[in-house]
């Protein structure tokens, strides 16, 4: 603006343009000259010789070009450092200088150098391996540009080729060094990762360095390796961070990292370098296992146990989509026999984590923890390769099969029953004949089986407070099905909450038994309930048998009122409680259930009265003894009369016989003829 | 048998109705005793077995009440019969009660009781008994007493809802004790003292079937009821009270029945003794 003001005032327009152009050009030249002069000192001197494309030397009999592209060097990331920035040993040397020492990148790149030294590449160099790669083999020398520059030799898209220089078929490395994998570059390029990177140009797709790291490349056997079994999950989840949510909910990512030994590692299924988003037919796949295990004669050398696996059985099982190696983890794909590295049995809890925890806490798991040979593990109940879901009627854990399953050990005489010291015997027989067992036999799968009460995996002895069949938990356990009953029970005098008793109160099984549960309208239950209640209510149950209801019950009459007909069953309350069936307001109605038209006065009948208690029932006591006295007097008098009579009666009998004999002697006819109507002949 | 004709004519002691009533009484009494005692001694194994044999307790209850109805029927029929007897042979109730054939104990019975006791201990001759001895009269009124006591309490227990409109419920407990203990007295007395006095005493052993046939040999009347015999001879009424004896087949049937009744009674007594001695509560 200042320029235009000046021009307008004094110079003609054309001159002004010429002068401005000249000035601008002079300025530009000045600047560029300055820049040229400033860049000149670091390399110009060297490039005077090395800028000649024909400059060569002979090393070990080979002609080596000593040409350095000055332009490329100048634009490289190291361009500003000059030649002696790296070739420090040539600083101040006279020309022609000696062969320079190898460049030490680690002088600046100490971290990378340190990693490289620890890596298998670095160790190979230390060993003097001529094939070992140095920095320049990957990064180049005078033309190094930042990694993010697409021209970089180690730009993501180029990494496979950089590595592939050595790691592809036919190279000296692949021929002369032991590399576990084959066709690495080809496989990678066909994998989902390679496809994304190389064919679709997706620079974030993993290249070799993403998994193997750039500098700290270690064999997978090294615990520090990014591809070691222990670390591979962490490596993969750098990208696949949410894999467990899309993979299988119960496999938690943390398990992969924390307990990698119990889980198949990523590459067990997803072959390294060949990963596809489909399931794999090769490597750790079932087909590989079945090459040996399909043989029916296959036996374990150690103990001769059959190692045969039926393909048909697996294919019909619930785990038919699960690969062998997912359960039989610890397999190592790099071995000819991948299974030879297996040291542990199948751990189902690696997937069924919650159930596994329950099992470990259960009595079965506790025994297993003590290495008890009787302890059942998962497979004892669920089977192995042919495992089926509990909804499958063929499954051993299907409701109708559960009692038979538990019976294998818990039937009388079997290993669990033998070691059992409690009160429950003939468990299986009793259950089978019980109402639950009968219903199950009739095909009602929702009825209670063993696991309904004892749980499937949290089985604990009833003495354990955490047990589902502990006395404190029984109402809840039964109440899961019999909810209405539980509600009544929890409001009854038998509930601790209501009575506040500290002594043990009855729960469901105390009256209904644990395994021999029968319908309560069955005769056996109705007739035994007095003995049941009598276990605690000793006296009142005894005096019940002194009155009508009790006496006829004793004779097997089921219709007469039993304890719970009057007191209520699950809603039993103290008779003083207004809500009780026997309260002042309710008693007549309760009696009226059987005795139509019963009144309050009728209910005055003493159903537990005894005539042996003069204080509680004086009028019964005295009535009884009054009657007894009457009996005694009558029998004593009558008896004495009879006894006194006896001698005379015998005397009369003798006289009578004598008379008859005399009569017969006189008339020649037995007198008995005359008396035949009244008694048998004594002579007969 | 030339003497057969005469010998087979026997003295008629009981009327046809009286005999029928006694049989009905036996049947109902046995039923009542068996079914009732199973309840009284419900705590013995025997009771459970018997109850089962009777078709379960419920059935036993029906038998008991049916038998009770028969017993009431017997009782009422007898009362009606008494009324007819009074109309036929007596001018007034007074005459019936104080007459020579009366069942009501009187001064002479007391004398005979004393005389009998003396005879027992060898201090005198056997008293000349009349138509009814004092122990027969005792048995007769024992039934009256029994029917009154057991019958009334039994009815109360049969219809408790009705009766508790008038009496407290706890009276049912009292009624139960009275009913069962009085029944024990009745069965115990009948099956021991009555059985002995009438059937088992050595000169009658094993039984006296007069109450079933209604007839007794004249010699027996002469020996056992000398006063009645003499009175009849003096009044010249003996011949009109004589009738022909029953055919042997009838006698055999009667004996079979009597044997059954005696056996049942005997076992009931054993059961009572067993229950009282070994498992009373």
Q: Are residues A152 and A42 in the same domain?
A: no
- Per-residue pLDDT reduced to its tens digit, A397-437: 999 999 999 999 999 999 998 888 888 889 999 999 999 99
Give me the mean pLDDT over the A474-495 stretch.
94
State residue A269's pLDDT score. Answer: 67
Residue A76 and residue A39 in contact, taking contact as beta carbons nearer than 8 Å: no
Q: Are residues A590 and A664 in the same domain?
A: no
- Considering only alpha carbons, which residue of chain A is nearest residue B6? A674
State residue A423's pLDDT score. Answer: 87
A residues 585..624 contacting B (CB < 8 A): 595-599, 601-606, 609, 611, 617, 619-620, 623-624
pLDDT reading at A4 higher than 50: no
Q: Are residues A333 and A388 in the same domain?
A: no
Residue A228 and residue A220 in contact, taking contact as beta carbons nearer than 8 Å: yes
Residue A547: its chain B contacts at CB < 8 A? 173, 176
- Nearest CB to B10: which of A546, A596, A677? A677
State residue A1's pLDDT score. Answer: 41
CB-based burial, A162-194: b 16+ in 10 Å, e otherwise = bbbebbbeeeebbeeeeeebeebbebbbbbebb
Tell me whether strands B242-244 and B9-12 are parallel, antiparallel or unpaired. Answer: antiparallel
Any chain A CB within 8 A of the CB of B105? no
Q: Are residues A501 and A372 in the same domain?
A: yes
**8 Å CB contact of A673 and B1:** yes
Distance, CA of A376 to CA of A407 (rounded, Å): 13
State residue A580's pLDDT score. Answer: 95
Q: What is the DSSP string of A83-96?
A: HHHH-GGGTTPPSS
pLDDT reading at B13 higher than 50: yes
- End-to-end CA gap in chain A: 174
B residues 8..47 contacting A (CB < 8 A): 10, 38-40, 42-43, 47
pLDDT reading at A350 higher than 80: no
**8 Å CB contact of A639 and B177:** no
pLDDT reading at A90 higher than 50: yes
pLDDT reading at A158 higher than 70: yes
State residue A485's pLDDT score. Answer: 95
State residue A57's pLDDT score. Answer: 84
Cα dihedral sign, A531-A534-A538-A544: negative
Q: Are residues A532 and A473 in the same domain?
A: no
Q: Which two tokens stand for residue B273?
A: 């003794």
pLDDT reading at A260 higher than 70: no
Query: What's phi and psi for B244, nearest 5 deg?
Result: -70, 145
B residues 110..139 contacting A (CB < 8 A): 117, 119-121, 126, 135
- Per-residue pLDDT reduced to its tens digit, B79-112: 999 999 999 888 888 888 888 788 999 999 999 9
Q: Are residues A552 and A450 in the same domain?
A: no
Distance, CA of B73 to CA of B147 (rounded, Å): 11
Give me the mean pLDDT over the A657-668 stretch.
84
Any chain B CB within 8 A of the CB of A668? no
Which DSSP symbol is given to B216?
Answer: E
pLDDT reading at A672 higher than 70: no
Any chain B CB within 8 A of the CB of A531? no
- Nearest CB to B174: which of A550, A620, A628? A620
Q: What is the 3-state secondary structure (H, E, C) of A383-443?
A: CCCCCCCCCCCCCCCCHHHHHHHHHHHHCCCCHHHHHCCCCCCCHHHHHHHCHHHHHHHCC
Distance, CA of B117 to CA of A512 (rounded, Å): 65
Give me the mean pLDDT over the A646-668 stretch.
87
State residue A234's pLDDT score. Answer: 84
CB atoms within 10 A of CB B112: 22
Sequence-separated (6 or more) residues with CB below 8 Å from residue A654: none
Cα dihedral sign, A334-A340-A341-A345: positive
Sequence-separated (6 or more) residues with CB below 8 Å from residue A116: A106, A122, A135, A215, A216
Q: Are residues A155 and A254 in the same domain?
A: yes
Beta bridge partners of A56: A65
- Considering only alpha carbons, which residue of chain B is nearest residue A597? B161
Alpha helices of A149-207 — where are they, by DSSP H?
159-164, 172-176, 184-190, 192-194
Residue B67 and residue B35 in contact, taking contact as beta carbons nearer than 8 Å: yes
State residue A36's pLDDT score. Answer: 52
Q: How close A535 gets to chain B, by Cα (Å)?
A: 18
Residue B268 and residue B46 in contact, taking contact as beta carbons nearer than 8 Å: no
Residue A631: which pLDDT band, with cuts at 50, 70 and 90? very high
Can you give the residue range of the structural domain that contains A557?
Answer: 519-610
Residue B217 and residue A663 in contact, taking contact as beta carbons nearer than 8 Å: no
- Of A20-29, B38-47, B155-164, highest mean pLDDT: B155-164
Residue B147: which pLDDT band, with cuts at 50, 70 and 90? very high
Residue A363: which pLDDT band, with cuts at 50, 70 and 90? very high
Q: Are residues A77 and A174 in the same domain?
A: no
Residue A525 and residue A565 in contact, taking contact as beta carbons nearer than 8 Å: no
Residue A191: which pLDDT band, with cuts at 50, 70 and 90? confident
- Mutation site, B113, B164, B178, interface A, largest A CB count within 10 A: B164
Any chain A CB within 8 A of the CB of B4? yes
Residue A677: which pLDDT band, with cuts at 50, 70 and 90? very low
Distance, CA of A49 to CA of A70 (rounded, Å): 11
State residue A365's pLDDT score. Answer: 95
Q: Which of A455, A452, A435, A440 is nearest to A401 (CA)?
A: A440
Which DSSP symbol is given to A306?
Answer: B
Q: Which of A93-97, A187-191, A200-204, A216-220 has the lowest mean pLDDT?
A: A93-97
State residue A262's pLDDT score. Answer: 56
Any chain A CB within 8 A of the CB of B78? no
pLDDT reading at A674 higher than 70: no
pLDDT reading at A393 higher than 70: yes
Q: Are residues A525 and A598 in the same domain?
A: yes
Q: Which two tokens stand for residue A148?
A: 């993010």
Q: H-helix or E-strand containing B277?
A: helix B248-278
**8 Å CB contact of A601 and B206:** no
Residue A387 and residue A317 in contact, taking contact as beta carbons nearer than 8 Å: yes
Percentage of chain B exceeding pLDDT 70: 97
Q: Which of A575, A545, A576, A538 is nearest to A561 (CA)?
A: A545
**8 Å CB contact of B209 and A677:** yes
Interface size, chain A vs chain B, as Cβ–Cβ contacts under 8 Å: 172
Beta bridge partners of B10: B243
């009981």: which residue's tokens?
B14
**8 Å CB contact of A547 and B176:** yes
pLDDT reading at A278 higher than 80: no
Distance, CA of A235 to CA of A210 (rounded, Å): 8
CB atoms within 10 A of CB B96: 19
Q: Which of B262, B278, B266 is nearest to B26 (CA)?
A: B262
- Mutation site, B51, B57, B212, interface A, largest A CB count within 10 A: B57
Is residue A153 classed as helix, strand or coil in its secondary structure? coil
- Considering only alpha carbons, which residue of chain A is nearest residue B254? A677
Residue A466: which pLDDT band, with cuts at 50, 70 and 90? very high
State residue A239's pLDDT score. Answer: 87
pLDDT reading at B7 higher than 60: no
Residue A682: which pLDDT band, with cuts at 50, 70 and 90? very low
Q: Which two tokens stand for residue A212?
A: 């193997």
> What are the distances in angstroms from CA B161 to CA B34, B157, B158, B172?
26, 9, 9, 10
The answer to whether residue A316 is domain-embedded is: yes
Alpha helices of B121-225 — where are they, by DSSP H?
134-158, 160-163, 170-189, 195, 210-213, 218-224
- Mutation site, B64, B126, B167, B177, interface A, largest A CB count within 10 A: B177
Residue B196: its chain A contacts at CB < 8 A? 642, 645
The answer to whether residue A616 is domain-embedded is: no
Q: Are residues A231 and A211 in the same domain?
A: yes
Residue B246: its chain A contacts at CB < 8 A? 677
Q: Are residues A483 and A544 in the same domain?
A: no
Q: How close A514 gets to chain B, by Cα (Å)?
A: 29
Residue A624: its chain B contacts at CB < 8 A? 177, 181
Cα dihedral sign, A625-A626-A631-A636: positive
- Of A217-231, A338-352, B120-134, highest mean pLDDT: B120-134
Give me the mean pLDDT over the B132-156 stretch.
94
**8 Å CB contact of B173 and A609:** yes
**8 Å CB contact of A609 and B170:** yes
Beta bridge partners of A64: A57
- Nearest CB to A623: which of B165, B177, B210? B177
State residue A2's pLDDT score. Answer: 43
State residue A283's pLDDT score. Answer: 42
Cα dihedral sign, A417-A420-A425-A429: negative
Which DSSP symbol is given to A650?
Answer: H
Is residue A299 classed as helix, strand or coil in its secondary structure? strand
- Per-residue pLDDT reduced to its tens digit, A238-258: 888 777 665 553 345 555 556
What is the CA A25 to chain-centroid distance, rounded? 81
A residues 628..647 contacting B (CB < 8 A): 628, 630-631, 634-635, 638-639, 641-642, 644-647
pLDDT reading at A683 higher than 50: no
Residue B134: which pLDDT band, with cuts at 50, 70 and 90? very high
Q: Which of A146-160, A275-289, A325-339, A472-486 has the lowest mean pLDDT?
A: A275-289
State residue A76's pLDDT score. Answer: 87
CB-based burial, A407-439: b 16+ in 10 Å, e otherwise = bebbbeebebbeebeeeeeebbebbbbbbbbbe
State residue A341's pLDDT score. Answer: 77
Tell me whether strands B215-216 and B9-12 are parallel, antiparallel or unpaired. Answer: antiparallel
Residue A678: which pLDDT band, with cuts at 50, 70 and 90? very low
- Nearest CB to B169: which of A601, A650, A673? A601
Q: Left, alpha or beta for A329 (phi > 0: left; psi -120 to 50: alpha)?
A: beta
**8 Å CB contact of B176 and A631:** no
CA dihedral of residues A180, A184, A190, A192 (deg, nearest 10): 70
- Nearest CB to A634: which of B4, B52, B185? B185
**8 Å CB contact of A642 and B164:** no
Residue A646: its chain B contacts at CB < 8 A? 201-202
Residue B118: its chain A contacts at CB < 8 A? none
Q: Are residues A338 and A398 in the same domain?
A: no
Percentage of chain A exceeding pLDDT 70: 88
At the top level of CATH, the class of B4-278 is mainly alpha
Any chain B CB within 8 A of the CB of A555? yes
B232 versus A326: the higher-pLDDT residue is: B232
Cα dihedral sign, A227-A229-A230-A236: positive
Is residue A678 classed as helix, strand or coil in its secondary structure? coil
Is residue A564 classed as helix, strand or coil in its secondary structure? helix
Any chain A CB within 8 A of the CB of B165? yes
The answer to whether residue A125 is domain-embedded is: no
Q: H-helix or E-strand containing A59?
A: strand A56-59
- Considering only alpha carbons, which residue of chain B is nearest residue A659? B219
User: How many structural domains compose chain A?
Assistant: 5
């Amino acid at each position: 603006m200042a320029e235009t003001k000046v021009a307008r005032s004094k110079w003609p327009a054309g001159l002004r343009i010429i002068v401005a152009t000249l000035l601008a050009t002079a300025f530009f030249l000045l600047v560029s000259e300055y820049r040229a002069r400033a860049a000149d000192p670091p390399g110009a001197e060297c490039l005077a010789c090395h800028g000649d494309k024909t400059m060569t030397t002979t090393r070990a009999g080979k002609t080596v070009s000593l040409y350095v592209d000055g332009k490329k060097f100048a634009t490289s990331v190291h361009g500003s450092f000059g030649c002696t920035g790296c070739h420090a040993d040539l600083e101040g040397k006279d020309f022609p200088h000696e062969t320079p020492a190898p460049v030490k990148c680690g002088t600046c790149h100490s971290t990378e150098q340190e990693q490289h030294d620890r890596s298998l590449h670095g160790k190979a160099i230390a060993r003097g391996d001529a094939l070992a790669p140095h920095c320049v083999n990957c990064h180049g020398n005078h033309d190094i540009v930042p990694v993010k520059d697409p021209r970089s030799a180690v730009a993501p898209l180029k990494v496979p080729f950089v590595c592939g220089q050595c790691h592809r078929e036919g190279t000296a490395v692949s021929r002369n060094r032991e590399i576990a994998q084959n066709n690495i570059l080809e496989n990678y390029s066909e994998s989902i990762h390679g496809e994304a990177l190389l064919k679709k140009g997706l620079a974030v797709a993993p290249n070799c360095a993403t998994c193997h790291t750039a500098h700290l490349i270690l064999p997978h056997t090294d615990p520090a390796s990014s591809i070691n079994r222990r670390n591979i999950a962490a490596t993969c989840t750098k990208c696949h961070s949410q894999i467990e949510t899309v993979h299988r909910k119960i496999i938690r990512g943390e398990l992969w990292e924390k307990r990698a030994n119990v889980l198949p590692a990523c590459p067990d299924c997803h072959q390294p370098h060949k990963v596809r988003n489909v399931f794999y037919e090769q490597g750790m796949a079932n087909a590989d296992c079945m090459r040996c295990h399909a043989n029916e004669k296959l036996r374990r050398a150690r103990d001769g146990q059959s190692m045969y696996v039926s393909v048909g059985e697996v294919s019909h099982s619930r785990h038919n989509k699960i690969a062998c190696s997912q359960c039989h983890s610890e397999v190592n794909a790099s071995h000819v026999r991948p299974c030879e590295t297996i040291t542990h049995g199948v751990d189902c809890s690696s997937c069924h984590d919650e159930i596994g925890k329950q099992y470990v806490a259960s009595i079965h798991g506790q025994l297993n923890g003590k290495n008890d040979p009787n302890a059942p593990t998962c497979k004892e109940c669920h089977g192995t390769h042919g495992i089926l879901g509990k909804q499958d009627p063929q499954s051993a854990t299907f409701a109708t099969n559960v009692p038979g399953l538990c019976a294998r050990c818990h039937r009388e005489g079997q290993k669990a029953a033998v070691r059992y010291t409690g009160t429950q015997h003939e468990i299986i027989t009793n259950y089978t004949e019980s109402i639950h067992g009968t219903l199950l036999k009739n095909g009602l799968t929702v009825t209670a089986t063993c696991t309904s009460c004892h749980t499937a995996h949290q089985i604990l002895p009833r003495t354990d407070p955490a047990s589902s069949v502990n006395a404190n938990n029984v109402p809840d356990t039964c109440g899961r099905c019999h909810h209405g009953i539980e509600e009544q029970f929890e409001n009854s005098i038998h509930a601790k909450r209501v009575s506040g008793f500290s002594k043990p109160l009855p729960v469901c099984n105390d009256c209904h038994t644990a395994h021999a549960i029968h319908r309560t309208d069955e005769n056996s239950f109705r007739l035994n309930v007095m003995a049941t209640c009598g276990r605690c209510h000793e006296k009142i149950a005894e005096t019940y048998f002194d009155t009508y209801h009790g006496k006829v019950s004793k004779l097997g009459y089921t219709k007469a009122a039993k304890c719970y007909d009057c007191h209520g069953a699950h809603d039993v309350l103290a008779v003083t409680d207004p809500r009780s069936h026997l309260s002042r307001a309710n008693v007549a109605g309760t009696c009226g259930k059987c005795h139509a038209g019963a009144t309050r006065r009728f209910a005055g009948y003493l159903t537990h009265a005894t005539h042996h208690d003069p204080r509680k029932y004086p009028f019964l006591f005295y009535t009884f003894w009054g009657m007894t006295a009457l009996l005694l007097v009558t029998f004593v008098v009558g008896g004495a009369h009879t006894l006194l009579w006896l001698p005379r009666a015998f005397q009369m009998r003798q006289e009578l016989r004598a008379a008859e004999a005399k009569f017969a002697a006189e008339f020649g006819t037995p007198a008995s003829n005359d008396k035949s109507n009244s008694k048998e002949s004594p002579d007969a | 048998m030339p003497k057969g004709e005469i010998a087979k004519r026997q003295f008629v002691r009981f009327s046809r109705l009286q005999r029928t009533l006694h049989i009905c009484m036996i049947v109902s009494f046995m039923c009542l005793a068996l079914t009732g005692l199973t309840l009284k001694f419900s705590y013995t194994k025997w009771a459970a077995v018997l109850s089962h044999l009777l078709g379960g307790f419920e059935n036993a209850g029906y038998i008991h009440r049916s038998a009770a109805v028969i017993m009431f029927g017997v009782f009422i029929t007898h009362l009606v019969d008494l009324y007819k007897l009074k109309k036929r042979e007596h001018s007034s109730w007074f005459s019936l009660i104080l007459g020579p054939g009366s069942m009501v104990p009187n001064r002479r019975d007391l004398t005979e009781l004393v005389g009998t006791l003396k005879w027992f201990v060898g201090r005198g001759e056997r008293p000349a008994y009349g138509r009814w001895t004092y122990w027969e009269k005792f048995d007769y009124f024992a039934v009256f007493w029994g029917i009154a006591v057991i019958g009334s309490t039994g009815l109360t227990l049969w219809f408790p809802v009705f009766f508790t409109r008038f009496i407290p419920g706890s009276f049912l407990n009292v009624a139960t004790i009275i009913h069962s203990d009085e029944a024990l007295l009745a069965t115990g007395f009948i099956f021991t003292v009555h059985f002995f006095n009438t059937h088992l005493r050595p000169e009658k052993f094993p039984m006296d079937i007069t109450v079933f046939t209604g007839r007794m040999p004249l010699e027996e009347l002469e020996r056992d009821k000398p006063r009645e015999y003499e009175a009849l001879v003096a009044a010249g009424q003996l011949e009109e009270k004589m009738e022909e004896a029953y055919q042997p087949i009838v006698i055999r049937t009667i004996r079979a029945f009597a044997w059954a009744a005696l056996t049942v009674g005997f076992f009931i007594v054993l059961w009572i003794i067993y229950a009282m001695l070994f498992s009373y509560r």
